Amino acid sequence: MTGRLVVLASGSGSNLQALVDAIDDGRLDAEIVAVYVNRRSAYARDRAEAAGIPQEFVPLRPYLEAAENERVGRETYDRELATRVSNHHPDVVVLAGWMHLFTAAFLQTVSAKVVNLHPALPGEFPGANAIDDAWAAHETTGLARTGVMVHLVPDEGVDDGPVLRSAEVPILANDTRASLEERIHALEYELLVDAVAALVTP
Ligand code: GRF
């Protein structure tokens, strides 16, 4: 049975593209039934449209403006987005460069497995600047490797949860930050496709 995926993205969407390509060439038996973005200019929207996948921009700001405080606004947004996602009956929700921390309201509303991608090893450099942080550690303390992980999202923890796939990326003597980032992204595409394929394989 073909797995149903909903992908949430905030930026370029190159990981979304990796999923689209893997489906196209038969490495992933799945269908991306919808893409949601939280940034109007996210290039992930163009990638979705090019692939014929319905996409929708759902911004957080109106929910924050309407709520009595930030927590309530975020919870309302998360519940609303989760409801829209759930209406597509996904087997897996993929956070592919989704730069928004969910409250528990999202996970309480979505019954599908939620998968996140993090450009660092388990337990290392949580947050939005993992590659910068690894590069800084390389320059200051000689960190010789970083990595990539794909994990389940069970709660509000940031870049934390049961690990589905992880692998190291060596930081080479002749690396620049850009060359390191390129290898991290290449590995992300591979591990994400592999982890999602395993989840949707009966
Ligand atoms: C990836 O490095 C992902 O791990 C991080 O944000 C980046 C998103 O890239 N959370 P893209 O939008 O998939 O190109």
Question: According to the model, what pLDDT value does residue 202 have?
Answer: 77
What digits encode the pLDDT tens for the residues 115-139? 999 999 999 999 999 999 999 999 9
Query: Using CA positions, which residue lies closest to atom 1 of ligand 1?
Result: 97
Entry pTM = 0.96
Q: Residue 113 in 3-state DSSP?
A: strand
Q: Supply the pLDDT for residue 49.
A: 98
- Report the C-alpha gap between 20 and 22 in whole angstroms: 6
- Catalytic positions: 118
As for ligand 1, residues whose beta carbon falls within 6 Å of it are: 9, 11-15, 96-97, 117-119, 188
Ligand 1 atom 10: the closest Cα is on which residue? 97
Q: Which of 8, 12, 14, 15 has most ligand 1 atoms within 8 Å of its beta carbon, as the pocket-test mutant?
A: 15
Nearest-10 Cα torsion for 44, 47, 48, 52: 170
User: Would you state the pLDDT for residue 129?
Assistant: 95
- Can you give the C-alpha Rg of the chain in angstroms? 17
Q: 96 C-alpha to center of ligand 1: Å?
A: 6
159 confidence band (pLDDT: 50, 70, 90): confident
pLDDT in tens, 15-63: 999 999 999 999 999 999 999 999 999 999 999 999 999 999 999 999 9
> In this structure, are residues 98 and 8 in contact, taking their beta carbons and an 8 Å threshold?
yes
C-beta atoms surrounding 60 within 10 Å: 17
Per-residue pLDDT tens digits for 78-106: 999 999 999 999 999 999 999 999 999 99
Give the pLDDT of residue 157. 85
